[in-house]
Amino acid sequence: MPAITCIEDLRVLAEKRVPRMFYDYADSGSWTEGTYRANESDFQAIKLRQRVAVNMENRSTAVKLVGQDAKMPVAIAPTGLTGMQHADGEILAAKAAEAFGIPFTLSTMSICSIEDIAAHTTAPFWFQLYMMRDRDAMERMIERARAARCSALVLTLDLQVIGQRHKDIKNGLTAPPRPTLANLINLATKPRWCLGMLGTKRRTFGNLVGHVKAVTDMKSLASWTNEQFDPRLSWADVEWVKQRWGGKLILKGIMDVEDARLAANSGADALVVSNHGGRQLDGAESSIHALPRIVDAVGSRIEVHMDGGVRSGQDVLKAWALGARGAWIGRAFLYGLGAMGQPGVTKALQIIHKELDVTMAFCGHTQLKKVDSGILLPGSFPQA
């Protein structure tokens, strides 16, 4: 196997090893995928100022994320179907994150359950929740997150309706995959993945099947899910969740200054500037472009994080320079997971940390906490 030097190397390997429908699920956006592509390209347009003759010894990228110590300002984002990129994927990613020293966030739509993660890790993790019509199911999920020692609840606000993702429709995405001729032919080319799946019992949505009334199998789950994402979501519902949770609350999916102000007013501990990785509203601006305005509006009142397009440590540094106190990675860790399992996630984190550390040094800093927009070339980055 060739040397792995960057996240792109992991992506190429993951594409070879993960079944088409699940690789496409991770590596795609909605409609034309314009926003999905802009998330990456807008990062690349931002240029850095190189400094020289500066003492570069004793560097540190350590920070706190929502009060939790972290080796770098990076969190693993909640991603659905992670356990279909690699057998027991959420467990492996959580273990890699714990060992590396950054937060891991488990999705409601995960394959491994909240209890699975708690049984295989000792560090507290974060749990992501969708607003659903079945409030009893939500309350039970909140209680399960509390019992599992979750240190923060992440409420996703931008999935009241699901964006049209053309690749998922064409692939007939299901978990586990339906035994169609096309799927069977593709699976036959992925022996490593198939062997892994044969060795685990976790092949469906572990947080829902067996925990939600009337959901006993994939057919009933599909029917329940289609009915449950609540299009009536309002800020009163955010307060409902906040009261029942009682702990650290992060609001994910903020792209507008007015919404950011409402998020700060809600009493949440942090917000995530996010367009859902370009998987919801195609034609929306990139997360990195929306970030400075939101930081300017509410950064003194609420901790601001971001996700979308983060593929390198340089991207993390640029986001930090523009005011994000945390950058969340989804596809970057999924590529590592699909490529090599837990060692692949660890490799992705090592790559990002090394790039962050070295780039910070080239920009004349040894302490990340002292980095600001002064490291960016004027005129190359979005203004508030």
β-sheet with 152-156: strand ranges across: 74-76, 326-329, 303-307, 270-273, 248-254, 152-156, 126-130, 105-106
Helices and strands, counts by H and E, the chain = 16, 10
Whether the CB-CB separation of 313 and 276 falls below 8 Å is answered with no
Average pLDDT of adjacent 10-residue blocks, the chain of 384 residues: 92 97 96 98 98 96 98 98 97 98 97 98 97 92 98 96 88 81 93 97 91 70 75 95 98 98 98 98 98 98 98 98 98 98 98 98 98 97 90
Whether the CB-CB separation of 39 and 309 falls below 8 Å is answered with yes
Domain 18-375: give its CATH superfamily: Aldolase class I (3.20.20.70)
Supply 354's token pair: 């090394």
Q: Of 169, 150, 75, 73, whose CA–CA distance to 108 is shortest?
A: 150
At 128, the amino acid letter reads Q
| CA atoms of 273 and 354, how far apart (whole Å) | 24
The CB density around residue 83, as the number of other CB atoms within 10 Å, is 28
| CA atoms of 286 and 250, how far apart (whole Å) | 20
Supply 21's token pair: 């429908």
Residues designated as active site: 276
Identify any residues that bridge with 328 across adjacent strands, giving them in sequence order. Answer: 75, 307
| CA atoms of 301 and 54, how far apart (whole Å) | 34
Q: Of 56, 148, 97, 87, whose CA–CA distance to 360 is shortest?
A: 56
Predicted confidence at residue 174, as pLDDT, reads 78
| CA atoms of 57 and 381, how far apart (whole Å) | 28
Supply 165's token pair: 């993702």
Q: Of 61, 62, 43, 67, whose CA–CA distance to 303 is shortest?
A: 67
Predicted confidence at residue 352, as pLDDT, reads 98
Residue 179, helix vs strand vs coil: coil
In eight-state DSSP terms, residue 229 is B
Supply 63's token pair: 């920070």
The CB density around residue 162, as the number of other CB atoms within 10 Å, is 14
At 209, the amino acid letter reads V
Identify any residues that bridge with 84 across adjacent strands, giving them in sequence order. Answer: none
The CB density around residue 103, as the number of other CB atoms within 10 Å, is 25
The CB density around residue 306, as the number of other CB atoms within 10 Å, is 31
In this structure, the strands spanning 303-307 and 126-130 are unpaired
* Total residue count of the chain as it appears in this document: 384
| CA atoms of 227 and 216, how far apart (whole Å) | 16
Whether the CB-CB separation of 345 and 97 falls below 8 Å is answered with yes
Predicted confidence at residue 238, as pLDDT, reads 97
What are the residue ranges spanned by the domains of the chain? 18-375
Predicted confidence at residue 214, as pLDDT, reads 72
